[in-house]
Amino acid sequence: MLYSFLRPLAFTLDPERAHHLAIEALRLLQLAPASLPPPTDHRLSQRLWGLDFPNPVGLAAGYDKNAAAPLAWPALGFGFAELGTITAKAQPGNPKPRIFRLEQDEALINRLGFNNDGAVAITRRLKHVLPLGHSHPIPLGFNIGKSRVTPLDEAESDYVMSLEHVFPFADYLVVNVSSPNTPDLRRLQEPERLGRLLDLLQTRGRQLAAAAKLPQKPLLVKIAPDLTDDEVREVARVSQSVGVCGLIATNTTTTRPQLRTTVTEEGGLSGKPLAARACEVLRVLYRAVDGKLPLIGVGGIFSAEDAYARIRAGASLIQIYTGLIYAGPLLPRQIVSGLISRLTHEGLRHIRDAVGKDI
C-alpha cells in the first residue's frame, strides 16, 4: 500500500534518474551492519549447480548493471541476483532518453545498450565489496555481453576478457547474446557462432578454475524471445553439446504485442506484454532439454501466480525486473510467500515437484 502511494511520485521522475536514485539507496542499504536475510523455507530451498538458493526468486540482469549493490539484494528478499550486463570495455550506452514507461501496459521499453563502467573498473571496486575467498549471502551471477565497438568477428576475445575479470567474484556466469540494443549481437545466437563462443568460454572457465583450485563455475546462456521455436530448440541443442549448465528465457522483445499504449520508440520491451511469449519459449526449452538442464524463467513476472506458472512451465528459478518497478520492493517476499501457499494448496512437498508440471 505504501508503494502504491509512492509510485506516482517516483514516476514523475525521468525513468533513468529514478533508477539511479534506487541504486544509490541500495548501495547505502548494503552498508548496514546487519542486513535482513532472504526469506526461505525447506520447500523452496534448492541446490543447483553446486550452489544453495534459499528461494527461487532472483533479480534479473539489467537492474544492477555495474554490480554497485551486490550485497543489498538479500534484504529485499531475493534468493539470488544476476549483475550486469558487463562488457570488456567501458561504454556510455545509447543516447538519452533511452528508457520509457508504458504505464497502461505495465511495461518498459529500454534501449540502454549495455551502459556500464567496463569489466576492469567494476572488478576493481568489487575487490572491496566482495572479498575473494568469502562466500556470498546469496548466489551472485555475472552477466557478460559484447562491447559495442568490438566487431562481431572479434566477439569471442571480448567475452573472454570479461569472463576473466568477473570470474573470481561470480558464483555463476551468463552469456548474453540476446539483447536487442547492441547491433548484430543477436547473430551470436546462430548455431555455429554460438557453439564456438560457448566452447571457448567453457574452456577458459575450466582453466581459470583449475588455476584457482576451484570447481568449474556454471555457465548459462540467456536467449531472446524473438527466436522461432525451431531456433530455440537449436540453441538448446548447441548449448547442451558444449556442456552449458542452464538456459535463461527470455531477454526483452523487439515486437510490440497487443499494447494499449501507442509507441514509436525502438528498444527491448519488458513487462506484462512479454509474459506469454517468454513462458512459451520456456516450454519449448523444457521439452528440448527433456528437463535435464535447469532453466530460469524471466519476463513479465509480477506476482506469485506468474512465478508459479513459469515454474510449472519448466523453470527451476525465476527472475524479476520490470515487476519490481511496478509492484515495488516487497515483491520478492510476496512471491516467496505466495509460492509456499501454492505448494500447500496443491499438496506438494517441494518446489521441484512443480517444475515442468504443465508440460
* Whole-angstrom distance, CA of residue 106 vs CA of residue 273: 8
pLDDT of residue 134: 85
Which residues are marked as active site? 179
**Cα–Cα distance measured from residue 107 to residue 14, given in angstroms and rounded to the nearest whole number:** 15
- Asked whether residue 96 is domain-assigned, the answer is yes
Separation of alpha carbons 104 and 28, rounded Å: 32
Interhelix angle for 119-129 vs 155-166, to 10°?
A: 10
Structure confidence by residue, pLDDT tens digits, 106-122: 999 999 999 999 999 99
Instruction: With a cut of 80, say whether residue 9 has pLDDT above it.
Output: yes
Q: In degrees to the nearest 10, what's the CA dihedral of 277, 279, 285, 286?
A: -160
Q: What angle do CA 52, 49, 54 make, to 5 degrees?
A: 20
Mean model confidence pLDDT for the chain? 96
Q: Are 225 and 250 in contact (CB under 8 A)?
A: yes
Report the 3 state secondary structure along the chain.
CHHHHHHHHHCCCCHHHHHHHHHHHHHHHCCCCCCCCCCCCCCCCEEECCEEECCCEEECCCCCCCCCCCCCHHHHCCCEEEEEEECCCCECCCCCCCEEEEHHHCEEEECCCCCECCHHHHHHHHHHHCCCCCCCCCCEEEEECCCCCCCHHHHHHHHHHHHHHHHHHCCEEEEECCCCCCCCHHHHHCHHHHHHHHHHHHHHHHHHHHHCCCCCCCEEEEECCCCCHHHHHHHHHHHHHCCCCEEEECCCECCCCCCCCCCCCCCEEEEHHHHHHHHHHHHHHHHHCCCCCCEEEECCCCCHHHHHHHHHCCCCEEEECHHHHHHCCCHHHHHHHHHHHHHHHHCCCCHHHHCCCCC
Residue 359 lies in a domain: no
| Residue 269 lies inside a defined structural domain of this protein | yes
Instruction: Establish if 59 belongs to a structural domain.
Output: yes
Tell me the β-bridge partners of 135.
none
pTM over 0.95: yes
Q: Is the pLDDT of residue 325 over 90?
A: yes
Q: Assess whether pLDDT exceeds 90 at residue 280.
A: yes
How many independent structural domains does the chain possess?
1
Write the pLDDT tens digit of every residue in 114-144. Answer: 999 999 999 999 999 998 878 899 999 999 9
The model's pLDDT over 30-47, given as tens digits with 9 standing for 90+, comes to 988 767 899 999 999 999
Residue 340, pLDDT above cutoff 80: yes
**Range of the structural domain that residue 264 is part of:** 2-354
CATH number at residue 71: 3.20.20.70
In a domain, 37, yes or no: yes
Strand 317-320 vs strand 295-298: parallel, antiparallel, or unpaired? parallel
Whether 194 is covered by a domain: the verdict is: yes
| CA dihedral angle for residue 245, residue 248, residue 249, residue 255, rounded to 10 degrees | -130
